Amino acid sequence: MSQEVKISIRNLYKIFGKEPDVALEYVRRGMGKAELLERQNHVLGLRDINIDIREGDITVIMGLSGSGKSTLIRHLNRLIEPTAGEIRVDGRDVLALNEAELRQLRRETMSMVFQKFALLPHRTVLENAGMAMDVRGRKLDDYEQEARRWLARVGLEGQENQYPHQLSGGMQQRVGIARALVSNAPIMLLDEAFSALDPLIRSDMQDLLLELQAELKKTIVFITHDLDEALKLADHLVILKDGEVVQQGDPQHILLNPGDPYIVDFIADINRARVLRVRSVMTTEFDPDAPYAGDLAESDNLETVLARSGGDTARVFRVVRDGRQVGALAMTDLTRALVPTAASGHRHT
């Protein structure tokens, strides 16, 4: 995982209302979201957000409706102006950019994929894919080959002359992803990009994103309300509630070590065998000469290991990386990892 911070968010606040600066002082003194609305008639959007988004990672920001996740992502390219705080991209203060610099940031540094596709209905698939280049003043001849290449890469070869209304929802979202890739922006912002899609199509789009990311290593900020999607995609997971970060970190660590009753409730019904990986459960203290039942990869999920074990809890597997042993996984440890932390009794709705 890269250690370079691409986007740094520090002490970020957003308050909606007529006098946000006045309301900010109440929030800093400890006033919560419900009380702020009741007493000051202001809405707390974000409260003291601190996140490092690392280069080449998929950072997933998740939470229920009203948690502030879409508000947060729109601060990164200043579609929403903060009440207080700091946002830096490659060390550059985004809040200090003038209008021309901000346009350049949105056109060349950050691309955005929306839930509702945001395609122009009067333009072809090819023209929609090349929109980022078009707004930079480039001619179709200059970017057509690149647009065709990325359309083919997302599975739309032969659809270039179609119009958005002729495509399914999943195909329209593929155009949106192609458009982000044609822009060649190093940062991709995806705001509930797959939420409007049917479950099978949604899963295909997640797989496509992971496949592209393995090749391109973009810095991706992905917004979702779906925990399964978050656990599938995230290198770094940030969970919001009422505009605040409840917990963030490696999604595997959060699943095994929930730091708040809200998180415990969130993960209570998750299929742990499907999302937990060998690397999160294995031990790095092992006897290389022990009789092992077979070899596992660190990225294998526990569901795979259960199938290989045949239900024999006495088995111990060797964990290898590049042909070298890096750990061992006992089925007894795997079984313990599958027992969830007890829910708090205050389930989210």
The verdict on 107 and 157 lying in the same domain is: yes
Are residue 216 and residue 300 in the same domain, yes or no? no
List per-block mean pLDDT (blocks of 10 residues) for the chain, which spans 349 residues: 84 97 95 94 97 97 92 95 97 95 92 81 91 80 86 90 90 89 91 86 90 93 92 94 95 90 87 91 93 94 93 94 95 90 54
Show Cβ contacts of residue 86 under 8 Å, excluding neighbours closer than 6 positions. Answer: 8, 9, 10, 11, 12, 93, 95
Residue 235 lies in a domain: yes
Residues 277, 240 within the same domain: no
Do the domain assignments include residue 24? no
Domain that holds residue 308: 273-337
Q: Is residue 83 part of a domain?
A: yes
Considering the domain architecture, whether residues 241 and 303 belong to the same structural domain is answered as no
Same domain, 298 and 233: no
345 falls within a domain: no
Q: Is residue 67 part of a domain?
A: yes
Q: What's the CATH code of the domain at 296?
A: 3.10.580.10
Number of domains in the chain: 2
Q: Are 326 and 320 in contact (CB under 8 A)?
A: yes
End-to-end Cα distance, the chain: 34
What's the confidence (pLDDT) of residue 349?
A: 45
By the 10 Å C-beta count (0-12 exposed, 13-18 middle, 19+ buried), 342 is classed as: exposed
Do 61 and 177 fall within a single domain?
Answer: yes
> Does residue 84 sit in the same domain as residue 167?
yes
pLDDT of residue 58: 96
Does a structural domain hold residue 194? yes
Q: Are residues 279 and 214 in the same domain?
A: no
Check whether residue 225 and residue 109 sit in a common domain.
yes
